[in-house]
Amino acid sequence: MSAEPLEIQLEEWDLDRRLREDVQAGLTARPKWLPPRWFYDARGSELFEEITRLPEYYPTRAERSILAERAGEIAELTGAKTLIELGSGSSEKTRLLLDAFTRRGGLGTFVPLDVSVSALRQSTERIAADYPGLRVRGIVGDFTHHLDRLPAGGRRLVVFLGGTIGNLLPTERVRFLAAMRAALEPGDWLLVGTDLVKDPAVIVPAYDDAAGVTAEFNRNVLRMINRELGADFDPEAFAHVALWDPEREWIEMRLRAERPMRVRVLDIDVEFAAGEDLRTEVSAKFRPEGIAEELASAGFAGHAFWADADGLFGVTLARADERLRPPTVD
């Protein structure tokens, strides 16, 4: 069975508008920032796949080990008819769940949602070929804006893997989880992967590898802005920096100007002082009780929490609970 035509909820002009808005807002702020969603152009996606194979980058291996051990249990517990993946990318780890649901039987539809048309088209075609009989319905969309477009009906399991929820600031997580709960019916399920708080000596190298792949990944966002918006960043004039914030329990990736410079972008002159930082990513780390509290506040009842053997990463299974009042989405 071939994949269905992609459902487009995010047009190219939407992406261009949001990029312009983010770049203008972030580069004129104090301190300067850019959101991490713009890392993932074609080159950025290739670099991230390389990062996931680096010896320092534990999250992918740790989460995969949990899913490999627990996928069958997740299939039995949820009995889902529809599996929805947010920020799906290649859906490589999700295949562990698809395999388990295939063995169990009953799963009818797989719905990956991603902003990248090319990545989504490639992954849906491969999955449709590898799982004959499964309806594969890809949605081009942004999980921070299009949760209300998720297909209704059947018992649904939404998966949000990779620790991506940690890229949202605390207020953004509140809005996201509220929107997620509003999009689900009581009895639907949510599976969330979260990187756990641990020794910074383990965390920091995952974002500052010896081979410099993460540094290249970080600078690539400047190359993307040059290409898409006609800016004149010199990416090599920025140093890659990864810093652990012990109070907020998150890591920040930054690009640090190595000399004073003026960058022209969107008809704006952006001044950088020597040593000035541009924040490109926040990656929050969680404690099991913390993610449980955030989910409960959004109207989800925690069902199970699993960690890998080394306690590096956690996966939480929660259910939309009719007894918990969903918060209002602003």
Is the pLDDT at 197 greater than 80? The verdict is yes
pLDDT tens digit string along 232-258? 999 999 999 999 999 999 999 999 999
Task: Compute φ and ψ for 327, nearest 5 degrees.
Answer: -70, 160
pLDDT tens digit string along 133-149? 899 999 988 898 889 88
Is the pLDDT at 13 greater than 90? The verdict is no
Average of per-residue pLDDT values in the chain: 93
Contacts of residue 128, Cβ cutoff 8 Å, sequence gap at least 6: 1, 2, 3, 134, 136
The closest alpha carbon to 119, from 10, 259, 198, 13, belongs to 10
Question: What is the percent of the chain where pLDDT is above 90?
Answer: 81
The closest alpha carbon to 306, from 61, 71, 53, belongs to 71
Task: Compute φ and ψ for 235, nearest 5 degrees.
Answer: -55, -35
Which stretches does DSSP call E strand in 9-108? 32-33, 82-86
- Compare 186 and 13 and report the one with higher pLDDT: 186
Model pTM?
0.93
Give the per-residue pLDDT at 327: 61
Across 29-43, 109-123, 203-217, the highest mean pLDDT is recorded for: 203-217
pLDDT bucket at 310, cuts 50 / 70 / 90: very high
Give the per-residue pLDDT at 2: 64
Is the pLDDT at 159 greater than 80? The verdict is yes
Is the pLDDT at 177 greater than 70? The verdict is yes
Question: What is the percent of the chain where pLDDT is above 70?
Answer: 97
Is the pLDDT at 176 greater than 90? The verdict is yes
Q: What is the mean pLDDT of residues 146-155?
A: 88
Query: CB–CB of 209/234 below 8 Å?
Result: no
Tokens encoding 44: 């950025």
Is the pLDDT at 41 greater than 90? The verdict is no
Query: CB–CB of 172/41 below 8 Å?
Result: no
pLDDT bucket at 8, cuts 50 / 70 / 90: confident
Give the per-residue pLDDT at 326: 60
